[in-house]
Amino acid sequence: MDSDFESTGVDSDEVNPGPVDKSVLYDQEKHVSSAVWEGQERGALRCHEHTSKLGEWRLTKRQLELVDKAGFRYLRLIPSISLDNPFISALVERWRTETNTFHFTVGEMTVTLKDVALLIGLSIDGEPVLGVTYTSCQRVCEMFLGRVPESRYMSGGMVKLSWLKESFSQCPEDAPMEEIECHTRAYLLYLVGSTIFSTTTGNKVPVMYLPLFEDFDKAGKYAWGAAALAFLYRALGKASLRSQSTISGCLTLLQCWSYYRLNIGRPKLKEDPSRDHFPFVLRWKGKQSGVAVKHDVAFYRNALDSLKPCDVEWLPYKDIDSMEIPESIKSSLILGRSKTMLICFDKAERHLPDRCLRQHGMFPSIPKDVQQWERKSRGVDSGVDLSLKMESELNEWMNRRLNIVGGDDGVKESEYMDWYLNITRKFVGRPTPTSQFLKTVRFRTKNKRMSAGLRNIAYLADAFSTKGLNPQQIESITRIRDTARHCLGDQIGDAIRVSTTPHFEDGKMLEENQSMVRETSGKCKSKDDFIGQSQFCGATIEDEKLQLCHGDSEVDHLPIEPGKRVRKKQSVRRKPVGKRKKDDSTQYHGASRGDEPQLAGKVDQTQLCRAEVDHSQPQHADRPISDSQLITYSRKVARM
């Protein structure tokens, strides 16, 4: 047993990663998480998306009009976004085909129809993307493109993307309408084959999509967004199997969905007004601040295994200006809550928003078991009309607006989590000393440290004498004292024992026989132990900027740089004005501005939980803040 586990009394071999109840995740043995648990690492997946060459197409004004008619006005605006293969690979390890959701530590989440509409701007309402399969390219290409590729550019019913670009990327401005239409169909086939329908072949696209672009007006009535999501669900399902090493589909959608929803792997962006332009993946089009840090799959896996509620944005679009959303998209967003079947030719996948109600601002519910269904494939026969093989799936899609889920069955978070932790896979990687599991084991130890720090603050607040202070200063001290008392009450109860003369060694409070009990009045019990007004006169503490409270609300952070060690058995004593020793060992060593302490701006609950790896400190803290540093800083404020 590893020494780190020994120190916490936890044997990694005895940890049950789940599921305990296997009725939901019944295919666990086929899943990649089982292989990872057994020590069989597959590394980062090869991510197949081919957007790097899209910018080399030059479309004429008339071509752009046809592209807009076909429903791809916004998809064509999305530039190539660098994919983080290890991050995507770690996400895939959390995907479950049994529910078409990600199973995170905080509950189930998924990419919904609403996400597709807002992020990539495709229609999620309309006719299903369905047609006839082909095993040969010649006849289809000649009919809809006006030319046939050489045999080296064809493979079964697929054509190489490179041939499409070489042959059709430059349409003459004065070309006849028939030629413009052929060039535009080639572009649309290249566009969908590079993005929403990218395949694991790496450089080919099926020609079966071409007939859907015969009539551009009719093409605009298809639910391309629903088809893109069906394709992505199927790709995620395949990639989550332990035997797979590649993934396809619209990975830009997947990655940017995660950027909006999870505070893991998210790049830091430069301020730019264009970031909120529609479609909203444009926010992540490469405007990063600082140097991008690369991580491996194990790093992201551990981060997801340690995911906390404060790392999740359940409603990431709530602050986006609704005026940015086109009316055609806005009117269909309710389908994000439709329990229906998504269809893309032979790929039919269930859309189950009832499992992820918190993404729609509702209380979670304990969902019904997912009905198992046979995932169809198009086979090898040519000329097969797939609509004849998907009668039940088509009926579900046609009734999509009749199956909008609500929050009537919502339950308390604790009740949901009790159920969820019994049916889910809690861990992908084996617990490590920085995992959430071991953090939970050591929670009481950390809680004691927090209480000790709060006791120190409570002591200082109680020790201040209000003699000679103006009303604003008295109110500030009172608020500090009352807030500290409130926090301590939440931690350990109302009656608090505080040392009259706190001593420190290496950031730890030393045990003393002499102590006092601070009751609800908050007054000092020893008349000799207080800080005189001479140490406080002239200081102005802005009470609206200095608060001590839990992470449930906005809090302010006092940035404290490591100072010198406080000498053992040093007491806080009242000193006459003008007689303070120059070699006071409790001096505060600040940042580049000298010894003047600075108050930082407000940070919210989410920011406090955004520390990389172990999340044990706020992201702007260079290292853990010890009790001695906190008391030293408080003394410095008192001497201002």
Asked if 240 and 31 count as a contact pair (C-beta separation under 8 A), the reply is yes
pLDDT of residue 499: 38
By the 8 A CB rule, do 425 and 17 touch?
yes
The predicted structure's pLDDT at residue 629: 52
What angle is formed at CA 365 by the lines to CA 364 and CA 368, rounded to 5 degrees?
Answer: 145
pLDDT at 443: 58
CA 430 to chain centre: 22
pLDDT for 328 equals: 94
The stretches in the chain having pLDDT less than 50 are 1-13, 273, 380, 437, 441, 491-627, 630-631, 633-634, 637-638, 640
Task: Output the pTM of the full model.
Answer: 0.69
CA dist 568 and 511 (Å) reads: 12
What three-state secondary structure class fits 505? strand
286: left (phi over 0), alpha (psi -120 to 50) or beta: left
Question: Which H or E run includes 555?
Answer: strand 555-556
Phi, psi of 52 (to 5 degrees): -65, -25
Domain positions in the chain are 18-423, 442-639
Task: Output the CA–CA distances (angstroms, integers) from residue 479 to 467, 549, 595, in the order listed.
Answer: 17, 11, 25
Q: What is the pLDDT of residues 220-244, one digit of tens each?
A: 999 999 999 999 999 999 999 999 9
Residue-wise pLDDT for 129-175, tens only, equals 999 888 889 999 999 999 999 999 999 899 999 999 999 999 999 99
| Burial class of residue 183, CB neighbours in 10 A (0-12, 13-18, 19+) | buried
Q: What is the DSSP letter of 337?
A: G
What's the pLDDT score for residue 264?
95
Burial of 332 (0-12, 13-18, 19+ CB in 10 A): buried
**Residue 527: predicted pLDDT:** 39
